[in-house]
Structures are given as structure tokens and as C-alpha cells.
Amino acid sequence: MNTSTFDYRPMWQSLGLDLEAHDALLAAIPVLYQDVYLSQRERPEGMAYFDFVMTEIHGLRVRELVDHKAAGGAVVGTFCLYVPEEIIRALGGQCVGLCAGTEWAYSEVERILPQNTCALIKSFLGFKLGRVCPYAEACDLVIGETTCDGKKKAYELLGELAPVYVMELPQMKRAADRALWRTEIDRLVAKLEEISGQRLTAENLARAIKEVNDKRRALQRLNEARKASPVPISGKDALLAVQVAFYDDVPRFTSMVNKLADELEARVAAGRGVAPADRPRLLVTGTPMAVPNWKVHDLIEKAGAVVVAEELCTGYRYYAKLVDETAPAVPEMLDAIAERYLDINCACFTPNEGRMDDILRLAREYKVDGIVQCHLQFCGPYQIEATKVERAVREAGLPVLRLDTDYSPGDAGQLSTRIEAFLEMLK
């Protein structure tokens, strides 16, 4: 992978980045990307777009966001699937996912957070404290949410460094919780109308619902193709497509994913795969994997298996559900948005039986040979829910492997050994 040849330094400087630290961050990505992505064989040609996006990871898209701000639009950062992108877009905003997938400025972070905090939270605070993320620096507002305790409390600290607005997400799905969530959607609309200076209308909201649904429909097509054997795309590439969905321009992304899906469907029709049909097929479930966290997919696929589905926020949970497009007016459209988002099955909820159902259904539909639970260390909700997932999966007669990890490469050898032993057992 080549890095961009355009000089973005004046833009990064104007955003207030620490240029030296930022150079060091960017320098690490091409080496990793070459090893994880560009070394693959039989890659679909449509992945060239995603290679380009990664080349420009802090360049072209950031330039677009800066131009958008200059034209009077808002840029809104989010950390979670529960924040409705449709409302942000309807009010002329651009939504960017800010979750960070690599260790950064941990010594500074651990001065204000306990060491035993998950890597995702440490990373997003590290990026902000270290001033190395142009997306975070370009945001007019960051929207947090009351999901896990770690995030909830970290938003208070982030609020000292950037404008933060927090949505109250209930932790159960009873009628009273749905009513609370619906009022939170109204509160969000009021906040976004205030920062954008625009009003939500049936026209702008219907357009945004359709655009975001189209993005999710394109990802559904891509992932439908992964049910085939041999599988036409690697798990790593499919993961990358969802990771990019969090910050790319929506119509462009949708069109490029549809093009990729055309190619995958043609590959399936021709019986062409990225790996022989007898490779073990695995489902990965657990905590989200933000760019450039490709560690577990990479280790699994280098060990000779192929990941065919992800029950992750950077996977199925992101694209599976659509917002009803038939609502006639703004209040009903907001009802439909509230319903769609509260239907996501995150381990922050109790009970969370819907997640077990999703995992078992995906396992059947994608004809998997085994399931890998992958969690970030110190993630209470997912690590504790792992017991129930394991029980449900074993009762369904499927082998399951549990991996608890972080963003450091230090445990790669140990993880590989456990993955290889698991694959041996599947034979």
C-alpha cells in the first residue's frame, strides 16, 4: 500500500494535530496493511476501492469533511451503533465513527483511567489526548450513549476535551424503556437542530432513511454472498468493508459495495472462491473491531480457516436491520428509527436472548463449522455474557473457542496456538 502523495499537512495542522505523533501513527499502517491485506491471493478486484480508502485514511475523507464544515454543514462523531445516523444526515450533517482500534498515548490515558479499562475506550481517549485523529478534531459534536459503564464515565472525561452530548440508552427493552428511548430520540433531534440550524422535515428525513438503508442493503448483499462455498471474499476483506462504512461518504460507499457485491455474485455463480471449499468456516462474535484492529481475523485466516460471518457491531449488528420506509410523517419516522435502533442486541442489555438467537441463526445460515468468541479484555458485558453464548452454542452442537485480547500484537503467538488447536479439533 502506498501512502497518499498529496500534502495534507497544512490541513492536519489547521485541525490542531500533533504532526510528529500523527506521522508516527500513519507510518505504522502501510506495513500492517501489506501484511494483512495485500498479501492475500484471489482478492476480489472491487477491494481496490477499500485499498484506496485506506491509503487516504486521514486524507481525502477528512478533506471532504473539512469542506463540508466550510460550507456550513456539521460533522458529528459517534462511538456506538445506537446513535441514529439518519437524523444526523437529515439535518445536513456528516456522521463519523470515532472508535479507535490501536493503542495510543496509553501512559497519558492511564493517568486518568484505570489500567483495567477496555482497549477501545483507552484508544479513543488516547487519540484525543494525543491529538492524532483528524476525524475527532474535525467534529462539531461527539454523541455518546449510556451503554457500558466504562464508556459512560469516559464520556465525562472526553467532555472536558470536546463538545459531547450523551443519549440515555435504556438497558432493558420493556414498554417503559421503549418510551424513554423514544423521548431520547426527540431530545437528539432538538440538539441536532440547534447545532445545524436546520429543521427536520418529512422530506429530509425520508431521504436520509433511504440513503442509510441503501448502505445497509449493499452490505447485506455483500454478506449474502459469503454464504456460498467456496466463499468468494475473505473475512478480513468483509470486515474492512463494514469498518469503512462508519466514516465513508454514504452514496459513494453504497455504490462501491454494490459493485463489489456484483463481482462476488459472479464469483459465486462461477464457483470461484478465495480459499478452497474444504477450509473450516467460522463465525466470529463479540466486541467491535475498529480500524486497524484486524488481528483475530488475520490469525484465523492465516491458520487456514475462513471467517464467513461476524456477529459484531463491525458486522451483522451494523447492517442487519433497516428503518421502515413507509412512515408518512416525521413523528412516525422517528418511531421507526427508535424501534430499529433499540432492536440491536448489544450485551449492555439484560436480558439479551436476541443475541443468542442471532448467533445460532447466523451459524445455520452460513453453515459454520465453529464459533469464535472474541472479546476485548476488561469488557464486562461481553466477557460475562460469554458464558451464556458458550452454553447456547454447545447446546446447538457447535464447537466454540473463546479469545480475550487487546490491541497489542504481544499475544499473537499465543492466540495463534489456540486457534490452530481449535482448527485441529474441527477436522
The contact set with ligand BJ8 (CB under 6 A) reads 80-82, 118, 120-121, 147-148, 150-151, 287-288, 313, 344, 346, 348, 376, 379, 381-382
What 3-state class would DSSP assign to 174? coil
The one-character DSSP state at 3 is P
For 356, the enclosing helix (H) or strand (E) is helix 353-365
Query: Residue 106 Cβ, how far from ligand BJ8 at the closest point, in Å?
Result: 15
Q: Is the dihedral of CA 82, 405, 33, 240 positive or negative?
A: negative
Nearer to ligand BJ8, 311 or 369 (CB): 311
Q: What's the chain's Rg over C-alpha atoms? A: 21
The three cell numbers locating residue 128:
484525543
CA 76 – CA 86 distance, rounded (Å):
12
CA 186 – CA 178 distance, rounded (Å):
13
**E strand spans, 70-140:** 75-78, 94-97
Number of H helices, E strands in the chain: 19, 8
Query: Residue 117 Cβ, how far from ligand BJ8 at the closest point, in Å?
Result: 8
CA 332 – CA 181 distance, rounded (Å):
14
Nearer to ligand BJ8, 232 or 286 (CB): 286
Query: Residue 312 Cβ, how far from ligand BJ8 at the closest point, in Å?
Result: 8
Nearer to ligand BJ8, 102 or 147 (CB): 147
Task: Count the residues in the chain.
Answer: 427
Nearer to ligand BJ8, 47 or 238 (CB): 238
Query: Residue 283 Cβ, how far from ligand BJ8 at the closest point, in Å?
Result: 17
Nearer to ligand BJ8, 148 or 306 (CB): 148
Main-chain dihedrals φ then ψ at residue 39, nearest 5 degrees: -80, -5
Query: Residue 175 Cβ, how far from ligand BJ8 at the closest point, in Å?
Result: 21
What 3-state class would DSSP assign to 305? coil
Nearer to ligand BJ8, 122 or 215 (CB): 122
The three cell numbers locating residue 303:
491458520
Query: In whole angstroms, how far apart are CA 294 and each of 32, 273, 290, 367?
Result: 9, 21, 8, 23
Query: Residue 316 Cβ, how far from ligand BJ8 at the closest point, in Å?
Result: 11
Nearer to ligand BJ8, 15 or 291 (CB): 291
For 236, the enclosing helix (H) or strand (E) is helix 235-245
Query: Residue 151 Cβ, how far from ligand BJ8 at the closest point, in Å?
Result: 5
CA 279 – CA 72 distance, rounded (Å):
51
Query: Residue 125 Cβ, how far from ligand BJ8 at the closest point, in Å?
Result: 11
Query: Residue 293 Cβ, how far from ligand BJ8 at the closest point, in Å?
Result: 11
Nearer to ligand BJ8, 151 or 281 (CB): 151
Nearer to ligand BJ8, 354 or 399 (CB): 354
Query: In whole angstroms, how far apart are CA 404 and each of 56, 412, 424?
Result: 31, 11, 20
Residue with C-alpha cell 451483522?
A: 316
What 3-state class would DSSP assign to 370? strand
CA 41 – CA 306 distance, rounded (Å):
13
CA 255 – CA 92 distance, rounded (Å):
20
Query: Residue 249 Cβ, how far from ligand BJ8 at the closest point, in Å?
Result: 22
Nearer to ligand BJ8, 336 or 374 (CB): 374
